[in-house]
């Protein structure tokens, strides 16, 4: 068997020296080192040899296996380098040719706005949370003081998943406010949180309304929070995003889940307050609804309204870049026209 190993070694090394294509190296490997290869076959037959021969033949067969493996690596490397050299000689490269430009992607303007908005609130100490887009009637309406048949349901044209009349109906959330309940229910006080995310409404689109749009909800619950805190927070936010010169309007509004309720509008950039298509000829564009969390809502979430108060707001994200860059139609954001998107 030792002689047989010597013969295999000679044959293998001779054959390998004659291999001159990288692809042939693999066939050679299979012939000698593969599962049914010559060396493997001998290694497998060791068990049938008497012990003294087994040690001798085994050591030599293993040494041969190692030698062939190393030779294979050397040969493959040699052939690959030769191939590369020959190719380079044959096809001269003109390294002075300018490269082909690779198109660089960029973030969608709404993604950038979301990051910017969240950045401002993070600097004020708010944490960023997310919530489900498919929501229960309970969180979207009932817990927010909007029971079935309440006229305020008409404010939110809803895309229902289950029938509204079924006991536990699901819907596509019409605003990010259901997260107020989910956060307060957890009972970790005090709270400073913002929730960016999508909202859906079953309504005709126009220059300022889409059926899918983004909102950022804000919620602060603590001892001694007042309307002045809400006003200060929102004015600071508006100054960061629109500059100190821009006029901000803060006035009463109604939402069943806050008391009092307010609305914030920003002077229209497109017309400088004169009135245009973007602002519906009012000179102002509403960006958010807000107010002091209603005591009934606090109570429903297990928070004592005698001890704690809070404010909440929900802003329309698309309206922010519209006001900053004078974009006069919200639908441009989702039409996927690169000529528009590339400008940001
Ligand atoms: C709400 O959605 C309330 N959840 C806001 C709120 C939160 C009030 C917390 C009080 C406390 P409203 O329907 O007004 O309110 O929407 C808030 C903002 O979302 C609007 O000011 C507007 O900027 C934006 N928005 C509303 N509907 C659309 C729409 N169809 N397309 C684009 N933006 C919209």
Given this model, what pLDDT does residue 340 score?
Answer: 94
Pick the residue with more confidence: 38 or 308? 308
* 96 occurs within a structural domain: no
42 and 118 in a single domain? The answer is: no
- Classify 205 as helix, strand or coil: coil
pLDDT digits (tens, 9 = 90+) for 45-74: 888 888 888 888 889 989 999 999 999 999
Kindly tell me if the per-residue pLDDT of 92 is higher than 80: no
- SS3 per residue for 296-307: HHHHHCCCCCCC
| Mean pLDDT estimate for the chain | 93
Kindly tell me if the per-residue pLDDT of 167 is higher than 80: no
* 307 occurs within a structural domain: yes
Given this model, what pLDDT does residue 177 score?
Answer: 98
Q: Which atom of ligand 1 is nearest to the CA of 313?
A: 9
> Rounded to the nearest whole angstrom, what is the distance from the C-alpha of residue 230 to the centroid of ligand 1?
17
* 155 occurs within a structural domain: yes
Percent of the chain with pLDDT over 90: 72
Percent of the chain with pLDDT over 70: 100
261: region left, alpha or beta (phi > 0 left; psi from -120 to 50 alpha): beta
Beta strands, E only, 129-242 = 134-136, 159-160, 170-172, 191-200, 212-222
181 and 269 in a single domain? The answer is: yes
Given this model, what pLDDT does residue 323 score?
Answer: 87
Given this model, what pLDDT does residue 23 score?
Answer: 86
* 256 occurs within a structural domain: yes
**Which of 212-216, 227-231, 249-253, 277-281 is predicted least confidently?**
277-281
Contact 286, 264 (CB under 8 A): yes
> Rounded to the nearest whole angstrom, what is the distance from the C-alpha of residue 138 to the centroid of ligand 1?
19
161 and 306 in a single domain? The answer is: yes
Predicted model pTM: 0.75
Contact 202, 180 (CB under 8 A): no
161 and 287 in a single domain? The answer is: yes
Q: Long-range pairs for 282-286 at CB < 8 Å and ≥24 separation?
A: 284/249, 285/208, 285/319, 285/322, 285/323, 286/316, 286/319
Half-sphere exposure at residue 19, Cβ-oriented, CA atoms within 13 angstroms: 26
Report, as an integer, the average pLDDT of 172-191: 97
Given this model, what pLDDT does residue 304 score?
Answer: 98
Given this model, what pLDDT does residue 292 score?
Answer: 98
> Rounded to the nearest whole angstrom, what is the distance from the C-alpha of residue 276 to the centroid of ligand 1?
21
Q: Which atom of ligand 1 is nearest to the CA of 175?
A: 2
Domain that holds residue 161: 109-341
**Which of 91-95, 122-126, 229-233, 339-343 is predicted least confidently?**
91-95
Given this model, what pLDDT does residue 85 score?
Answer: 86
What are the pocket residues of ligand 1 if the criterion is a CB atom closer than 6 Å to any ligand atom?
Answer: 175, 177, 201, 203, 209-210, 213, 215, 255, 258, 261, 286-291, 312-316, 318-319, 330
Q: Which of 288, 296, 331 for mutating ligand 1's site (highest number of atoms within 8 Å of CB)?
A: 288
pLDDT digits (tens, 9 = 90+) for 254-269: 999 999 999 999 998 7
* 311 occurs within a structural domain: yes
Q: Which atom of ligand 1 is nearest to the CA of 215?
A: 19
178 and 305 in a single domain? The answer is: yes
| Residue 283 CB neighbour total at 10 angstroms | 18
Total of domains in the chain: 2
> CA 214 → CA 87, 198, 264, 330, distances in Å?
55, 4, 17, 11
Report, as an integer, the average pLDDT of 28-49: 89
* 139 occurs within a structural domain: yes
State the CATH number of the domain containing residue 268: 3.30.930.10
Say what the alpha-carbon torsion angle 209, 212, 213, 217 is, to the nearest 10 degrees: 120
Given this model, what pLDDT does residue 86 score?
Answer: 87
Q: Which atom of ligand 1 is nearest to the CA of 201?
A: 30
Pick the residue with more confidence: 93 or 275? 275
């Amino acid at each position: 068997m030792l002689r047989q190993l010597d013969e295999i070694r000679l044959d293998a090394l001779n054959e390998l020296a004659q291999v001159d294509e990288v692809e042939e190296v693999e066939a050679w490997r299979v012939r000698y080192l593969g599962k049914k290869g010559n060396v493997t076959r001998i290694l497998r037959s060791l068990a049938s040899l008497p012990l003294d021969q087994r040690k001798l033949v085994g050591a030599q067969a293993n040494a041969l296996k190692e030698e062939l493996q190393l030779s294979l690596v050397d040969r493959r490397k040699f052939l690959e380098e030769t191939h590369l050299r020959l190719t380079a000689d044959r096809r001269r490269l003109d390294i002075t040719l300018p490269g082909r430009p690779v198109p660089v992607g960029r973030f969608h303007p709404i993604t950038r706005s979301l990051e910017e908005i969240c950045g401002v609130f993070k600097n004020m100490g708010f944490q960023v949370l997310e919530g489900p887009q498919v929501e229960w009637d309970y969180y979207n309406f009932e817990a927010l003081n909007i029971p079935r048949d309440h006229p305020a349901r008409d404010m939110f044209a809803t895309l229902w998943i289950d029938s509204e009349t079924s006991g536990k109906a699901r819907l596509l959330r019409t605003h990010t406010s259901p997260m107020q309940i989910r956060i307060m229910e957890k009972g970790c006080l005090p709270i400073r949180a913002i929730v960016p995310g999508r909202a859906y409404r079953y309504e005709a689109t126009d220059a300022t309304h889409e059926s899918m749009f983004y909102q950022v909800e804000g919620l602060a619950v603590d001892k001694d929070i007042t309307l002045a805190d809400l006003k200060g927070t929102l004015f600071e936010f508006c100054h960061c995003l629109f500059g100190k010169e821009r006029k901000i309007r803060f006035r009463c509004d109604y939402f069943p889940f806050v008391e009092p309720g307010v609305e914030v509008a920003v002077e229209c950039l497109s017309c400088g307050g004169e009135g245009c298509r973007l602002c519906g000829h009012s000179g102002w564009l509403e960006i958010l609804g807000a107010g002091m969390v209603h005591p009934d809502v606090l109570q429903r979430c297990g928070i004592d309204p005698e001890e704690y108060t809070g404010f909440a707001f929900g802003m329309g994200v698309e309206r922010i870049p519209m006001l900053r860059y004078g974009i006069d139609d919200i639908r441009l954001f989702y039409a996927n026209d690169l000529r528009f998107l590339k400008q940001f």
